[in-house]
Structure 1
Amino acid sequence: MIIERAGCVGREHELAELEQRLVATRTSGAAAVLVLGDRGIGKTALLRAFVSTTGAPTRHAQAVAWERHEAGAVLRQLLRREPPLHPSHAADRLAAGLVEQPTLIVVDDAEVADDLSLNALRSVRHRHPEIPVLIVLSATHGAPRLIDLADDALRIEGLEASAIVELAALRGRVLPPSMAAALTRHTDGNPRDALALLDELPPARWIRPDRELPAPGHIRAEVTCALADAGPAGRALAEALAVLGPGAELGHAAALGALDDPLAALDDLRSSGLIDPRPIHEPRWRTPLIATAVLETMGARDAAEAHRRAAQIVTDPVAQMRHLAAATPVPDDDLAERITVLAIQRGEDGAWAQAADLFRDASRLTSNPAPRDERLIRSVDALVAAGDCAGAGALVSTVEGMRETPLRNAALAYLAIVRGRANEAEVRLSRAWEIVNATRDPATAALIAQRHVLHSLAQCRGADLIDWADRAIELAGPDSGAGIEAAAIRGLGFAVSGRFAEAQAAYSALASTVRHGAQAQRVQMGHGWLGVLNDDPDEARSRLEGVTDPWVLGGSTRISLWALGWLARVQFLTGEWDLAMASVARGRLLAAGSGIVLVTPLLEWTAAEIHVLRGEWESASEAARAAEAEAQGYEIMRVPTLLARAHLAEARSDYAGVRRILAPFAQAGPGSSLAEPGIWPWADTLAGALIADGRLDEADQLLAPHERRAAEESHHSAQARLAAARGRWHGARGELDQARGSFDAALAQLDGLPLRYEQARVTFGYGQTLRRAGQRRDAEVMLATARDLWDALGARTRVEAADRELRAGGVRAPQGPRTAGELTPQEETVAQLVASGLSNREVAARLFISPKTVQFHLTRIYAKYGLRSRTELAARAAEHQEPHR
């Protein structure tokens, strides 16, 4: 089947990567990259787009299987003439003229290229390493002869749902989000397969996200031919594997297929190309669509009979029930009831993905409309609990069309929570609680209460969270699924309220009773989250690292996302910034794949701060924008977003911007988590901006209640941050002894804690305050220490700031009398900053002095240099830099 090219979409990252490699050949010389991806994934479209957008001179060849043994077949396309039959001579011919500008040599489907051509390309790099040429090879797998030629590989993965929507639009189809998500999941984002289904299925089919999608025609045709070539045993094994589903055991497949020699059948199937060659004893389809096509070739009756026999072979209860459901095409209320009982049990155990599948099977097999709808709603609720928002979202339109019930509202509210839609969740939860009868239906009432727990957590309302958790536990029982989930979060309610000792006691008690399975993931995550808030990074790290993978305990993507968000925060505070960015990257992928946006601002806050400190300004701005794009009504999303923006403004010495961003926080009432200094670190940042602008009374009024609260809670890092801010405040008032006392107290609070970022920040503030007070030698000790701390962390912008402070202090400058026109160290620093284009206010913020002092220094600089303006100062600086270039 021929599929028209619909364009290259969703490949911005890959295009940028290839462009970077091409540009690099100007200085590094000849290079080669292997572009790997499954069939139909869009390698050819990517290379065409790359050639089109770069405009670089290009030599292109398309290798074909039937020319695999024809020497020079690819070279003939590249040279457009008969090639020399010796690799070195061919390499010289290819390299001729490639000396002025970066050039591309592209070989598509390189795994079937002839050996002479590949050897010639290898010789190009060996004999002409200096020429600016990028060799790009595309292939479906990394054969040794290709890996040996290339520097490394760029793997092309499936497209995201947004790109599939764009592809559909290029095809003239409008896909609703739910169907785009379903199509993306079904095809693993393979554009060829997605386009084929868009062409083959009628438009009406794309408004029913609850209907299963078939295999594309070209996959069915390929599978039909391959099964014919695989022989009877290979076909029997293929059908058994397709019926048993993902993760099928070879022994079960052999039993189902009545195979005496399963390894021989496996060899037959492997030779057909339908399964990957490795691992040997764990057969895996080359693409999941192959299994769909195999089932379609079996026919409905044979497939149903195979499912009935599979139910007798497998031992897992969930697999048994799912096979029985697949073997039953019409409603069967007895079977539906048995499946529902098992679904409830798996939900109680926290295995929500399995529960979702079982509830959906039970719904299909139920004849009575009311219980049928209820079971489908429970399937949606379980999908959200498992973190599959895309799957749940595909069923929203169906659920919204059902009659209103407390369960329906609770399930839709749950989805709204993880999507960050606070107002929608509030309305639906309020309505659900209003119409539920807790006496007659305590299980549903408990579920609604538990959803209120999550809603309160996202709002950072500790007292409400505890209240709803207690209701859920009372209604469902402490050992129930809803009770355990509520208890797993209840401790965070105490923490958000500043009651850290009670929070720790709650988690210690819970950890002793919930030690295994998916529910343990929730307890571990909550306990780790508490460790972050309670200055126990080692405890937090150990607990969070074990629950970042949703598949390890059979748990929830949502829980794993929270674990990654807070693990990244721990790694940032302890100075493990590369690990923190790796955690952020994992979290971003998990969020994109699941559709959960609730955690995105937390992830991007950490990313933005690290990028700022490293001087990666554009990346910092992108992270801040990504956080803001998802920051909707929930406080747990809004606060990290504003903190990311505030730290970006602070790093640019935009203290008015810091005040504008953080000022709303100061209006929070006593019940808000913003009033808890141990939860969100904002008060010291806002106070610093107020002090920098000379608004000392406002800074004092802001700090005082937070200082009292931090002392009452004995929260060490919060007391340290606030004491450092108070030290700056005393310094701005000329109260040096009090300033020293505050900074010493701040460092004492951090003593023994592995919070390297906080230590560096406090030490730098101490040195800056001492330098402003004229205590140059003491200031140098602190500033040099801070510089070393920042340097060890890789905080380039702060190292530069410490260097400026040290120069301004003059301690490290040569001592002795100055000439009449020589600048003081402070004047040199002011001159450099003004010449770089900063305003007086910006220079003052950088050096922690007043704008009037900057103007005083500037006047003296002009007089010493005989200048009249900032423009002349900048020109003079440029002239003096020129000889050093």
Structure 2
Amino acid sequence: MPTAHRGRLPRLHHPQVREILAHQQTVTPGSGLVIVVRDLSGGGASGVLHDVATGSPTWNVVRTRLLSGPNRPGVMSLPDDSADTLLLIEDIDLADTASLRRLYEEVHRGDRPWRLVVVATMSTVGPAGTEGADGDAPRATFRLGDVEVVLPPLTVENVGVAVESSTGVLPHPHLAVDLHTMTGGRVDLLAELLDGAPADIRAGRAPAVPESWSAALSAALNNVLNSTDTGTTSSPGARRQLVDLLRAVAVGGGPSADPVPLLLLRDLTGEVTAANDKVFSLVLRAVHGPAVEFRDPRHRAAVLEQTPPAVCVDLHNRAAHVHTDPGRALYHQLQTVLAGGPGTVDNVVSQIRSLTTKYRNRGEWQSAAELSCIVPGSVEAVEAVEAVEALTLSGDLPAARLWSRGSFGPAPCVSFLAMHAGDRRRAYAVLDDAASDDAAGPGTERQRALLSFADWDPHSMLEHATSADDNLLITVATSIIDGSVTSTDRPDVPHRLVNGWLSLVNDDPLTAREMLSSPLPSLSPSLRIWRDAWLARTHYVLGDFETARRTVERGLATGDVHGSTLLDPVLLWTGAQVAAFQGDQSASRQYTSRLPDDPESFLIQRLPAAMSRMITTATSSDLVAALRVGESLARIGTEKDTQQPGFWPWEDVYAQCLVRAGRIRAADAVVTEAEQRAGTRGLASVAAKLRVPRGSILLRRGDVDAGVRCFDEAVDIITDTPMRAYQSRILLEYGQVLRRLGRRRHADEVFARAEEVFDSMGAPAMVERCRRERRAAGISGTATDAAAQATGSTSGGLTTQEEQIAVMAADGSTNRDIARELTLSAKTVEHHLTNCYRKLGIRGRTELSGALQRR
């Protein structure tokens, strides 16, 4: 088939790429992992491998493809390299079992110091729709992978995106449904239709079934009828019986080609006997239900095209009378009328509207949406509006977006969709352009309250929430404005999620974890993302880093699937911090690189994005960049009040950056304002974290006793809380201060406590950093370190002072900072650093951190 369109189709498997990259990040040096990508999409695997390679910039990427045929090579030998290696293999199912076993054993050999990850694709649906012997399993009998990632077929919404990308024309939702039904969501089949009938698709018409699809159906039928193992023959009667069965399955599947229940199939065709076994093995398959569906969507499309209108009318009419689902019965009744059968369209549409109203009144939004979506285009305006609303309320945001892009839908729903897509301009414009009577409705006021929350304007949020009489949003706005903890006893899901978030903000992460992680039935995708954003933050604060990282990935994947990016920055902020704590700088940079940098985005996106950048640049010793981001946060604070204690904690990090830059007066102003605002809240985390820059300011001004007392108070406050992430940071900063003051024994004690907390959180890089600090202090309690003190040198040949200077330089201190803190001249510091570079075999300052870790 032509392949031109496949290269132009957008990549639509972002969640699977992210899942693969997340598994890749779990591999430790000296170990390996095999990830098998099982392609059910009919052509998406190559794009996934490309995106995985792009998302692995620090890995040595090797790509190969297996070829079918008697002279094809086996699986290639593994690269012999000292760098982390990513081996990408296409069509691994073509390999023989012996090669697969050898590959698996080589990957898990365990005697190499570097990481090795194999990502191998296999297709369960070949170019002609062929499958393994059992219809699902690959040809190879050996189970290769440690992890399996499945590429599902495209959704209806994906098909709409692909068509628009390829043709430049936004398809009508009904056309997107038709194309999805014809192709089963397979990339290769969709590309074939786009190549073969672009004019039809641009004109909004479903294309004719390609001749090759009809030929494939004829070949399958002949194969069945010529078979001898079931006793079937190629007589006209046998062929007619077979065709009747296939027509019943094709028509009975409805608009989405759903599996047809056996009970319905018997009502349409009579008893399904054992003589149909060959049909089920080659053309149909039984699925859970019990029900029946086509193996290959091309066969279904060809059957429908070849079915005479009178036969379609008869099958739809019978299905309408025997179907137990009233919605499906009405669909078949509508199709009966549209195909020329008895009845009128207006009469059936009236029944559909009546049933839709019942579903809406009962809150059964998905059922209401499905009914609204089946109304034909000639009478659909009202139903399209209602479909958008029902799909939005059911949480099916991609489908709602597909239906709303033709400008249908209530303004609050369209605005809600734009908000979740991060389109701030459109989210406001839709409401501003709404008719005056709609603009005053409670739905519009509630959406304006949500927009105010997304832009962190609690006073405006309170005003609109009050107009909408929405108690939950009133609670949120009031809590932000005055810091009150107004948790409610209402057991419904939204209230539990809000209460969990407010518990986290108010220094009760244990309650937050209980509320956010307890089973919450019937969560819509938007609420699942909200839950994961703050649950991941909760796990981070508690120091449960692995769970936090898994929750981040789950939230990002949900957002990808449902087209919601609003809370991505909150998730990425947590992911970047956790990865940095764990020493996975590559993952931390990857999370940070995906943060939005658009001044027009919502404030709830800009704030965590800026905070994440400031923290990661500060910890990576890029003081200039950290100050630049901190200044942008301060500017945001002058435009809108974003400094409510506990919600967006950034002042302590920014103030510390200002201290390091020698801007003591500016740091004092930042801390003083934050202290004044935090005074009435009584939040332990805020009070403890602000004492760190306050202590640093006092030390810089020469008041050593008061400065050390501030750090002592910070440690005392935070130690009585379960917030290990904050404890560890404060202890590390305090230890560094004590070391620089020459209080080596006290510093060693504090570093030992920090090391213990980091170790309990699973942060090995930070554990090693604490050990380096203890070595630099000259006291660490081991025989080796005692000997180092006696000789005046440390491991690697550095003297105690050289080690101290090297650690400070690796942490980002300038020569002038180091000279001031150690009472040395800048020239002396430079001399010591030159000795450090020579002894460690490195070329300069940027390599210090890695060299110190490798010793």
| TM-score calculated relative to the size of structure 1 | 0.73
SS of the aligned residue for 1:497 comes to helix
What does 1:218-237 correspond to in 2, within 5 Å?
A: 218=212, 221-223=215-217, 226=220, 229=224, 231=242, 234-235=245-246
Contact 2:250–2:257 (CA<8 Å) still a contact in 1? no
1:458 aligned residue: 454
Aligned length: 786
> What is the identity, as a one-letter code, of the residue corresponding to 1:448?
T
The Cα of 1:761 is off from its aligned counterpart by 1.6
Measured in 2, the distance between the counterparts of 1:570 and 1:687 equals 24
The Cα of 1:651 is off from its aligned counterpart by 0.9
The Cα of 1:192 is off from its aligned counterpart by 1.0
Out of 531, 534, 538, the residue aligned to residue 506 of structure 2 is: 534
2:475 aligned residue: 491
1:195 aligned residue: 191
Measured in 2, the distance between the counterparts of 1:193 and 1:660 equals 50
The Cα of 1:642 is off from its aligned counterpart by 0.7
SS of the aligned residue for 2:564 comes to coil
Q: Mark the CA change 1:48 to 1:568 in structure 2 (over 3 Å): closer, same or farther.
A: closer
Contact 1:8–1:46 (CA<8 Å) still a contact in 2? no
Out of 840, 848, 852, the residue aligned to residue 877 of structure 1 is: 840
> What is the identity, as a one-letter code, of the residue corresponding to 2:550?
A
Q: Mark the CA change 1:764 to 1:294 in structure 2 (over 3 Å): closer, same or farther.
A: farther
Query: 1:449-494: per-residue Cα shift (whole Å, max 9, x none)?
Result: 1221221221122222232222223xxxxxxxxxxxx444443223
Query: 1:407-431: per-residue Cα shift (whole Å, max 9, x none)?
Result: 7544432332222222332233234
2:581 aligned residue: 613
Measured in 2, the distance between the counterparts of 1:464 and 1:303 equals 57
Q: Mark the CA change 1:341 to 1:465 in structure 2 (over 3 Å): closer, same or farther.
A: farther
Query: 1:286-333: per-residue Cα shift (whole Å, max 9, x none)?
Result: 466766665555455544554454444444454444444444439744
The Cα of 1:37 is off from its aligned counterpart by 2.5
> What is the identity, as a one-letter code, of the residue corresponding to 1:531?
S
Measured in 2, the distance between the counterparts of 1:839 and 1:265 equals 78
Is 1:250 aligned to residue 261 of structure 2?
Answer: yes
Query: 1:388-421: per-residue Cα shift (whole Å, max 9, x none)?
Result: 4443443445327xxxxxx754443233222222
What does 1:577-656 correspond to in 2, within 5 Å?
A: 577-628=545-596, 632-656=600-624
| TM-score calculated relative to the size of structure 2 | 0.76
What does 1:357-368 correspond to in 2, within 5 Å?
A: 357-362=370-375, 364=377, 366=379
Out of 269, 272, 290, the residue aligned to residue 282 of structure 2 is: 272
Q: Mark the CA change 1:569 to 1:348 in structure 2 (over 3 Å): closer, same or farther.
A: farther
The Cα of 1:727 is off from its aligned counterpart by 3.5
Q: Mark the CA change 1:246 to 1:446 in structure 2 (over 3 Å): closer, same or farther.
A: farther
Is 1:825 aligned to residue 789 of structure 2?
Answer: no
SS of the aligned residue for 2:642 comes to helix
Contact 2:539–2:545 (CA<8 Å) still a contact in 1? yes
1:62 aligned residue: 68
Measured in 2, the distance between the counterparts of 1:374 and 1:563 equals 34
The Cα of 1:757 is off from its aligned counterpart by 1.0
SS of the aligned residue for 1:658 comes to helix
What does 1:551-590 correspond to in 2, within 5 Å?
A: 553=522, 556-590=524-558
Contact 1:182–1:394 (CA<8 Å) still a contact in 2? no
SS of the aligned residue for 2:601 comes to coil
Compare the two structures and name the one with the higher helix fraction. 1
Q: Mark the CA change 1:751 to 1:613 in structure 2 (over 3 Å): closer, same or farther.
A: closer
2:352 aligned residue: 339
Contact 1:601–1:630 (CA<8 Å) still a contact in 2? no
SS of the aligned residue for 2:407 comes to helix
> What is the root-mean-square deviation of aligned Cα atoms in Å?
5.3
The Cα of 1:560 is off from its aligned counterpart by 1.9
Q: Mark the CA change 1:189 to 1:577 in structure 2 (over 3 Å): closer, same or farther.
A: farther
1:416 aligned residue: 418
> What is the identity, as a one-letter code, of the residue corresponding to 2:368?
A
Measured in 2, the distance between the counterparts of 1:121 and 1:633 equals 48
Q: Mark the CA change 1:739 to 1:327 in structure 2 (over 3 Å): closer, same or farther.
A: farther
Measured in 1, the distance between the counterparts of 2:347 and 2:99 equals 69
1:778 aligned residue: 746
What does 1:648-667 correspond to in 2, within 5 Å?
A: 648-667=616-635
The Cα of 1:673 is off from its aligned counterpart by 5.4
Measured in 1, the distance between the counterparts of 2:263 and 2:840 equals 78
SS of the aligned residue for 1:36 comes to strand
> What is the identity, as a one-letter code, of the residue corresponding to 1:829?
Q
Contact 1:573–1:756 (CA<8 Å) still a contact in 2? yes
Q: Name which of structure 1's ranges 596-605 and 491-500 shifts more when overlaid on structure 2.
A: 491-500
Q: Mark the CA change 1:349 to 1:534 in structure 2 (over 3 Å): closer, same or farther.
A: farther
SS of the aligned residue for 1:644 comes to helix
Query: 1:684-722: per-residue Cα shift (whole Å, max 9, x none)?
Result: 111221222233332232223333333423333333322
Measured in 2, the distance between the counterparts of 1:137 and 1:595 equals 26
The Cα of 1:649 is off from its aligned counterpart by 0.9
The Cα of 1:581 is off from its aligned counterpart by 2.3
Measured in 2, the distance between the counterparts of 1:683 and 1:462 equals 20
Contact 1:58–1:103 (CA<8 Å) still a contact in 2? no
2:485 aligned residue: 501
Measured in 2, the distance between the counterparts of 1:753 and 1:212 equals 63
Q: Mark the CA change 1:237 to 1:628 in structure 2 (over 3 Å): closer, same or farther.
A: same
1:281 aligned residue: 290
Measured in 2, the distance between the counterparts of 1:545 and 1:623 equals 23
> What is the identity, as a one-letter code, of the residue corresponding to 1:243?
G
SS of the aligned residue for 1:394 comes to helix
Measured in 1, the distance between the counterparts of 2:823 and 2:395 equals 58
Q: Mark the CA change 1:733 to 1:378 in structure 2 (over 3 Å): closer, same or farther.
A: farther
Contact 2:45–2:121 (CA<8 Å) still a contact in 1? no
Contact 2:61–2:86 (CA<8 Å) still a contact in 1? no
What does 1:424-439 correspond to in 2, within 5 Å?
A: 424-432=426-434, 434-436=436-438, 438=440
SS of the aligned residue for 1:469 comes to helix
2:228 aligned residue: none
The Cα of 1:680 is off from its aligned counterpart by 0.8
Contact 1:687–1:702 (CA<8 Å) still a contact in 2? yes
Query: 1:572-619: per-residue Cα shift (whole Å, max 9, x none)?
Result: 222222222222222223222222221221221112112222333333
The Cα of 1:646 is off from its aligned counterpart by 0.8
The Cα of 1:639 is off from its aligned counterpart by 0.7
1:721 aligned residue: 689
Query: 1:523-565: per-residue Cα shift (whole Å, max 9, x none)?
Result: 44333333332333344334434678xxx62x53222222222
1:544 aligned residue: 516
Q: Mark the CA change 1:744 to 1:137 in structure 2 (over 3 Å): closer, same or farther.
A: closer
Measured in 2, the distance between the counterparts of 1:14 and 1:460 equals 32
Measured in 1, the distance between the counterparts of 2:34 and 2:792 equals 59
Q: Mark the CA change 1:259 to 1:624 in structure 2 (over 3 Å): closer, same or farther.
A: same
Is 1:146 aligned to residue 140 of structure 2?
Answer: yes
1:765 aligned residue: 733
Identity %: 22
> What is the identity, as a one-letter code, of the residue corresponding to 1:496?
I
Is 1:40 aligned to residue 63 of structure 2?
Answer: no
> What is the identity, as a one-letter code, of the residue corresponding to 1:281?
P
Query: 1:243-281: per-residue Cα shift (whole Å, max 9, x none)?
Result: 38577573543454354458x588555312433x66583
Measured in 1, the distance between the counterparts of 2:601 and 2:497 equals 24
1:403 aligned residue: none
Query: 1:655-700: per-residue Cα shift (whole Å, max 9, x none)?
Result: 3322221224334569955121211111111122122223333223
Is 1:690 aligned to residue 667 of structure 2?
Answer: no
Q: Mark the CA change 1:40 to 1:421 in structure 2 (over 3 Å): closer, same or farther.
A: closer
> What is the identity, as a one-letter code, of the residue corresponding to 2:502?
L
Query: 1:129-174: per-residue Cα shift (whole Å, max 9, x none)?
Result: 99999997845257587242635576562588999899989xx954
SS of the aligned residue for 2:595 comes to helix
> What is the identity, as a one-letter code, of the residue corresponding to 1:358?
L
Measured in 2, the distance between the counterparts of 1:675 and 1:137 equals 49
Is there any run of 5+ residues in structure 1 with no aligned partner, and where?
64-73, 80-90, 367-371, 401-406, 439-444, 474-485, 515-519
